[in-house]
Amino acid sequence: MTTPSSLPPDTEGSPAKVAGTRLERGLLALFLLAMVALPAASTVSRRLVGRELPGSAVLAQHITLWVGFLGALLATASGHHLALSTIELVPAGTPRRIARFFTAAVSAAACALLAWASAVLVAVEWKGFGTVAFGIRVAWSELVMPIGFGFMALRFAWRAGEGAARWPLRAAALAIAAAAFALGRAEPAPLLVWILAAVVLAAFLLGAPVFVAMSGFAMALFFRDGGPEAIAAVPTATFNLVSSATLPAIPLLTAAGYVLAEGGAAQRLVRAYKGIFGWMPGGVAIMATFVCALFTTFTGASGVTILALGGLLLPALRREGYPEDFSVGLVTASGSLGLLFPPSLPVILYGVVAQAPIDHLFLGGLVPGLLMIVLVAAYGVAVGVRSHAPRERFEPREAAAALWAAKWDLGLPTLVVVSVATGFATIVEAAALAAAYSILVELAIFRSIHPLRDLPRVLVDAAALVGSVLILLGTALGLTSWFVDAEIPTLLVDWMTATVKSPALFLLMLNAVLLVLGSVLEIYSAIVVLAPLVAPLGAAYGIEPIHLGVVFLANLELGFLFPPMGLNLFLAASRFGKPLPYMYRKALPFLVIMSAGVLAITYLPAITTGVVQLLVGD
């Protein structure tokens, strides 16, 4: 499973480091606010004067690149890059310190080599005269890449040192990074390539960030095939992210979800759904299911749901007489629901990677997402009836008051769906409107977030997640570009179609593979790695792309509960203080129930495609 990087936290602070961090945080907050303003203003301009703000869309795409790299820098400083959580398996003491030094040094070396390759890219672009907007040259925008990778290398080298020998270890890591930078001019040798690949693999297994492994393997393969200059293909693929018109939706919707979550949306939603469903048999279980699903939709991260809502929902379920075993399992399972609804970040990321229309993915995921929620809620009703959980008397006044109090929270997904479905705004413009909406609601209506003390911090927290995701996406696209050059997808399609003739059997195999990999890989890693390989396979078997995307995401949603490595199982065990074997047993009924839902989604494509055809046609 992947979690934030296991590199040791940086406890030493110097004035220069603190000043730099404050500068980064300030720039990130300003850039995110600019990203909110540009598309939102363009939408208003188009509606009022009949034309968009010139250059606003392209500028927002390039600002996304800067937000991604600044966020990645902060993730490096705090150790929040996605990585395998294997460092704890290494014996404590000297062995673990050696492992941490090794992973940090390899990470610093990979970033140094990426900085060299990015500098090559910038040098080529510097000779041209391409502009972004308002006279800003493309080469100026690209500068964030060598600068960003260079500072990330320095931070990884800094984090390599701990204990009494911190300074020699930092110096050694810095020397390794410098040697990697010089490697950019070395001649390719097969033995050297294999050694580099083995080193990267070992570092990855010990807890180096996933993007380090992706970029390391990609650079080794390009180095073998084309020499030092070919390494520039990796940062080139990263920069090509800005060509995706939907890319800015990722940071915008992430910021919107973080702002609402910080502003107390969870408590308001719990009250609202309890008022609506509390009178029904199993009403509190239904409430817990819907609240978890909606909260996951906001944040795009199942783990956030369990950590944020576990302390609210588990006591509420226990007070109503639900067995503890069931209550723990329900919160654990419900934390993976909601990933198919707007404005979920995994759906947007899949659309970017697989080049599928994001609005169609959201429409196609509505009924499948509701099916998964209904199945889990129905089991909750059955347990509630069996355990004689009390039914609250329906109080229309309280239900109306609770729903009214949560109207602004419920308005966020409504705003995104309606603005996109009616053609009022593009997905990026809708994301900007949603971010502006969430900021306005929390600052001016609830006043739960202080504009100067709290808002920058929340935006920076969101940007750190965005940075870790975008840097992973960019480097994974570098590896994907090697796959394309080597015709790996074509070979895989030829082998699969020659071996497996039935589309139904292919889908069953896909379900099994995604279930296992979804439990091992963090969902963002799984999307950027697997989607480019799965999409051509689906096309070869004649599977409708939107249906394939929903099946893909539903399986990853299920992988959160698949033992022994499902992320929700680990987070719930930590949150509720339960051993892992206990979590495996209590989540099993929900895993079976949700598996039935995934199979229905897989083999009844009308569940997905029917809504899309109804609303947008063929």
Cis omega (within 30 of 0) on the bond before 564?
Answer: yes
> What sections of 486-502 are H helices per DSSP?
488-499
Distant-in-sequence, close-in-space partners of 540: CB < 8 Å, separation ≥ 6: 493, 496, 497
Name the DSSP letter for residue 4. E
Residue with structure tokens 């920058």?
456
- pLDDT given at position 20: 45
pLDDT higher than threshold 90 for residue 603: yes
Residue 511, Cβ neighbours under 10 Å: how many?
Answer: 21
pLDDT higher than threshold 60 for residue 16: no
Mean per-residue pLDDT for 126-133? 75
Q: How far is CA 515 from the centre of its chain?
A: 18
Highest mean pLDDT among 370-379, 393-402, 529-538: 370-379
Residue 394, Cβ neighbours under 10 Å: how many?
Answer: 14
Confidence of residue 84 (pLDDT cuts 50, 70, 90): low
Residue 112 pairs in a beta bridge with none
Query: Which pair of tokens denotes residue 264?
Result: 């107390």
Confidence of residue 19 (pLDDT cuts 50, 70, 90): very low
Of 54-63, 360-369, 594-603, where does mean pLDDT reach its minimum?
54-63
Residue with structure tokens 């404005």?
343
- pLDDT given at position 85: 64
Average pLDDT, the chain: 82
Confidence of residue 594 (pLDDT cuts 50, 70, 90): very high
Instruction: Summarize pLDDT for 432-443 with one digit per residue, the tens.
Output: 888 888 899 899
With a pLDDT cut of 70, the percent of the chain lying above it is 92
Tell the burial category of 581 from Cβ atoms under 10 Å away from its Cβ (0-12, 13-18, 19+).
exposed
pLDDT higher than threshold 70 for residue 479: yes
- pLDDT given at position 13: 35
- pLDDT given at position 17: 35
Instruction: Summarize pLDDT for 239-269 with one digit per residue, the tens.
Output: 887 777 778 887 887 788 788 878 877 778 7
Residue 41, Cβ neighbours under 10 Å: how many?
Answer: 16
Residue 209 pairs in a beta bridge with 83
Confidence of residue 302 (pLDDT cuts 50, 70, 90): low
Q: Write a three-state SS string for 343-369.
A: CCHHHHHHHHHHCCCHHHHHHHHHHHH
pLDDT higher than threshold 70 for residue 308: no
- pLDDT given at position 18: 31
pTM exceeds cut of 0.85 = no
Higher-pLDDT residue of 220, 567: 220
- Name the amino acid, one letter, at 500: V
Mean per-residue pLDDT for 315-330? 85
What is the rounded CA–CA span in Å between residue 239 and residue 474?
Answer: 7
With a pLDDT cut of 90, the percent of the chain lying above it is 16
Name the DSSP letter for residue 2. E
pLDDT higher than threshold 60 for residue 98: yes
Query: Which pair of tokens denotes residue 237?
Result: 């693929």
pLDDT higher than threshold 50 for residue 24: yes
> What sections of 159-264 are H helices per DSSP?
166-183, 190-206, 210-226, 233-239, 249-262
Confidence of residue 15 (pLDDT cuts 50, 70, 90): very low
- pLDDT given at position 146: 93
Instruction: Summarize pLDDT for 31-42 with one digit per residue, the tens.
Output: 888 888 888 788
Mean per-residue pLDDT for 167-193? 81
pLDDT higher than threshold 50 for residue 522: yes
Query: Which pair of tokens denotes residue 604?
Result: 């009844």
Of 192-201, 223-232, 453-462, where does mean pLDDT reach its minimum?
223-232
Instruction: Summarize pLDDT for 191-225 with one digit per residue, the tens.
Output: 778 888 899 999 988 888 888 988 898 888 888 88
Mean per-residue pLDDT for 283-308? 75
User: For helices 488-499 and 523-540, what crossing angle results, to 10°?
Assistant: 60
pLDDT higher than threshold 90 for residue 548: yes
Mean per-residue pLDDT for 509-527? 81
Of 72-81, 285-294, 363-372, 388-397, where does mean pLDDT reach its minimum?
388-397
Residue 124, Cβ neighbours under 10 Å: how many?
Answer: 14
Provide the b/e sequence for 445-476 (b: ≥16 CB within 10 Å).
Answer: ebeebeeeebbbebbbbbbbbbbbbbbbbbbb
Mean per-residue pLDDT for 342-371? 89
Of 37-46, 180-189, 467-476, 510-519, where does mean pLDDT reach its minimum?
180-189
